[in-house]
Amino acid sequence: MTEHSSAMELRLRQTLVGLRPPDGAPDALRARVATVPDTAARAWWRTPARALTGAVALAAVVAVVVGAVAVQPTPLPVTPGGPGAAPPIPFDPMIEGPGILRYSVWTLVLVPLVVAAVVGVLGLRWALRRRGQALAIRLAIAAVVAGGIASPALQPGFEMGSAWGPMLGYDLQVEPPPGADYPTVWYETAEPGGPLVLVLTVRNPGPLPIRLDGLVETQTAATPLIQRWTALWLGTDPNSFGNRFDQLVSFTPTVVEPHQELQVYLVGRAGLCAFGPAYTLASPVTGHTSRGREIEFAYSVLGLGSSAPLELPMSLVEPYRENCPAA
C-alpha cells in the first residue's frame, strides 16, 4: 500500500511539472496575484455598504407602502356618479365629513429622501470604482441624480390666494385702526352650535401640480364647546367669487396647476357657548376665544402626501355668552 501510494504521488508530481509553463507564470496572472493584498485591504467597506443599501431599500419599500395607504377624506353618505347614480348632494352646512381629515401623512418628504439615500449609496459605490478625475465626475453625477430625486420633498404647499370673504355666521367684521399690526377681526354671530361658512382661494406656488386632499381638523363633535371645521365644499362657477349656496358641490380631491387658484368653502360649527346673532362689541360676554389664524391643508404631489399650514388673512373670534349652561 505504501509503495503504491508513493508511485501515484510521483506520477502526479511529474504530471503537474509537465503542465508548468516553460517561461513561468504569465504577467497578467502575476499582476492579479500581486493585487490580492490591496483588494483585501479595500474590502472592509463593501459589507457595511451592502448592509446599509439593503436597510435603506427596505425603508424605501416601507415608505411607499405607507404612502399607498395614506388617509383619504371621509366619504359622504351619497356620492355623485355616472348614469343611475344618486343626484349630487345639495349644499347643507350641517353635513359633516367631506374634505375633513383627522391627520395627514408625510410620504412626500419621506419617500423621495429615502429613495435619494438609496441612490446616493449606490452612486457612491459606483464612483469609488474609479480614481482621479473619473472619481470626481462620477461623484458629481451621483450627487445630481440623488438631488433630483429628493427635490419633490421641497415642493411647497398651498398659499393664500387673492380673495376671501364671509358667507354665513360672520356678520361683524372690525378693521384694525391705522398703523395697527394685527389683521381684520371677524366675530362669530352664529347660533350656539350653528353653522359657519367662509370662502377663500388657495394658490399653488409651483412648480408642480398639487392635489388638494382636504383640511386637517383635530377637533371633533366630542369637543362641542370649541369652534371646529366640519366640511369643505367647492364652487361650480370659476368666473365669480362667492358662489351661491346652490352652486356648491361636496368636496373631492382637486388638482391645482402651478400658479393657479382654487375657491374653497370652509364650513364649521360655532361652540355651544357662542354668544349668538345679537352680539355687538358692547355685549356683555364672559370672554373671547380664537383658535389662531393657521389652518392645515393636506395635499399630494406625484401621488405622495403631505400637509402644510396656511395663515388666514383675518382673525376668527368667538365671543362667549355669560352663564353658559354647557360650560
96 to each of 5, 213, 221, 228, 291, how far by Cα in Å?
A: 94, 16, 10, 11, 19
Contact 126, 141 (CB under 8 A): no
- Residue 33 domain-assigned? no
Domain count, the chain: 2
Q: What is the model's pLDDT at position 144?
A: 81
Task: Tell which of 92, 126, 154 closes a domain.
Answer: 154
Contact 191, 171 (CB under 8 A): no
- Residue 6 domain-assigned? no
State the CB neighbour count (10 A cutoff) for residue 250: 23
Rounded to the nearest 10 degrees, what angle do helices 46-68 and 107-127 cross at? 160
Contact 231, 197 (CB under 8 A): no
Q: What is the model's pLDDT at position 40?
A: 47
- Residue 78 domain-assigned? no
If asked whether residues 246 and 134 sit together in one domain, one would say: no
296/210 Cα distance (integer angstroms):
15
Contact 113, 227 (CB under 8 A): no
Quote the Cα angle for 204-206-212, to 5°. Answer: 40
Task: Tell which of 154, 171, 187 closes a domain.
Answer: 154
If asked whether residues 135 and 184 sit together in one domain, one would say: no
If asked whether residues 286 and 301 sit together in one domain, one would say: yes
Question: For every one of its 327 residues, what pLDDT tens digit does the chain have, with 9 covering 90 and above?
Answer: 556 667 777 777 777 666 666 666 666 666 665 665 555 444 444 555 555 555 555 555 555 555 544 444 444 444 344 444 456 688 999 999 999 998 877 787 778 778 878 877 887 787 777 777 777 777 777 778 777 777 777 778 899 999 999 999 999 999 988 878 889 999 999 999 999 999 999 999 988 899 999 999 988 777 777 889 999 999 999 888 989 999 999 999 999 999 999 999 999 999 999 999 999 999 999 888 888 899 999 999 988 888 899 999 999 999 999 888 766
- Residue 259 domain-assigned? yes
Q: What is the DSSP letter of 152?
A: G
If asked whether residues 108 and 186 sit together in one domain, one would say: no
Contact 258, 206 (CB under 8 A): yes
If asked whether residues 164 and 196 sit together in one domain, one would say: yes
pTM score, whole prediction: 0.70
Give me the domain span that covers residue 115.
44-69+103-154
If asked whether residues 140 and 171 sit together in one domain, one would say: no
Quote the Cα angle for 128-132-133, to 5°. Answer: 105
Q: Which three cell numbers stand for residue 177?
A: 385702526
Task: Tell which of 154, 189, 222 closes a domain.
Answer: 154
- Residue 114 domain-assigned? yes
If asked whether residues 65 and 199 sit together in one domain, one would say: no
- Residue length, the chain? 327
Q: What is the model's pLDDT at position 16?
A: 65
170/165 Cα distance (integer angstroms):
9
If asked whether residues 217 and 278 sit together in one domain, one would say: yes
- Residue 62 domain-assigned? yes
If asked whether residues 58 and 148 sit together in one domain, one would say: yes
- Residue 63 domain-assigned? yes
Contact 317, 227 (CB under 8 A): no
If asked whether residues 137 and 282 sit together in one domain, one would say: no
- Residue 303 domain-assigned? yes
If asked whether residues 133 and 269 sit together in one domain, one would say: no
If asked whether residues 225 and 186 sit together in one domain, one would say: yes
